[in-house]
């Protein structure tokens, strides 16, 4: 089954190349050529995933992604960013922007299709089928099927990646998880992701959890551990 993908890129040839390859892989593709059109299109058609170029003529791709992360409707929408500059990467997949992944330009269309499918797979991976429906770490409560997190009764908006990270730690509460193990389980693959990416995301997760952050402990030199109380 194909997914509905929005490609946001102002260079027509590149947009077309990406669209053709994703359609070839069985997906339904729409193209937007600037950031504001993309935001309107996302509102209207609610795609399953967005391929988003950083350099756009109006609102930058990073700003588009930030705005998506601020809204409850799109906080978990999978976003893959296309970036031409390696110094952007930390920002793009880090807490500042919150994309799920990035692909550096120039890229092979096949590589992009593989990344898209990896993200779609891990997004649709059912948490529902195994394990408890709800996990509580003190006043931090995870409603697993709803992908909803509350701290002291207040909902915390997490991206899909942040939710998977928290769920992974919480479902193994009391046991230390290494960065490598988290990378493998939460990110699903690791060729382009460095272990410090885990630290960046844990930092962001803690910021969002506020008082609930005390339930995630750093184990120096090893990794992280969720605490039940």
**C-beta of 33: minimal distance to Ca ion in Å?**
9
Nearer to Ca ion, 83 or 159 (CB): 83
Contacts with Ca ion by CB under 5 A lie at 10, 53, 55
**C-beta of 88: minimal distance to Ca ion in Å?**
13
Nearer to Ca ion, 86 or 129 (CB): 86
**C-beta of 15: minimal distance to Ca ion in Å?**
9
Nearer to Ca ion, 58 or 217 (CB): 58
Nearer to Ca ion, 12 or 145 (CB): 12
How many angstroms separate the CA atoms of 197 and 191, rounded?
12
**C-beta of 105: minimal distance to Ca ion in Å?**
9
Q: Please, is 131 exposed, middle or buried when counting C-beta atoms within 10 Å of its C-beta (0-12, 13-18, 19+)?
A: exposed
Nearer to Ca ion, 55 or 213 (CB): 55
Q: Please, is 146 exposed, middle or buried when counting C-beta atoms within 10 Å of its C-beta (0-12, 13-18, 19+)?
A: exposed
**C-beta of 195: minimal distance to Ca ion in Å?**
30
């Amino acid at each position: 089954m194909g997914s509905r993908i929005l490609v946001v890129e102002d260079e027509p040839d590149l947009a077309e190349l990406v669209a053709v390859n994703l359609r070839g892989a069985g997906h339904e593709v729409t193209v937007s050529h600037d950031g504001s059109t993309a935001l309107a299109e996302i509102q209207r058609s609610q795609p399953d995933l967005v391929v988003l170029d950083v350099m756009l003529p109006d609102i930058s791709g990073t700003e588009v992604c930030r705005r998506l992360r601020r809204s409850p409707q799109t906080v978990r929408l999978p976003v893959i960013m296309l970036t031409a500059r390696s110094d952007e990467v930390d920002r793009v997949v880090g807490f500042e922007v919150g994309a799920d992944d990035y692909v550096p330009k120039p890229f092979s269309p096949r590589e992009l299709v593989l990344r898209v499918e990896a993200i779609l797979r891990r997004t649709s991976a059912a948490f529902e089928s195994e394990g408890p429906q709800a996990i509580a770490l003190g006043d931090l409560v995870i409603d697993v099927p709803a992908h909803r997190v509350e701290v002291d009764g207040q909902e915390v908006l997490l991206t899909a990646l942040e939710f998977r990270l928290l769920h992974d730690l919480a479902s193994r509460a009391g046991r230390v998880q290494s960065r490598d193990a988290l990378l493998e389980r939460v990110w699903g693959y690791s060729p382009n992701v460095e272990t410090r990416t885990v630290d960046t995301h844990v930092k962001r997760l803690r910021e969002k959890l506020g008082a609930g952050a005390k339930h995630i402990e750093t184990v120096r030199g090893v990794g992280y551990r969720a605490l039940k109380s």
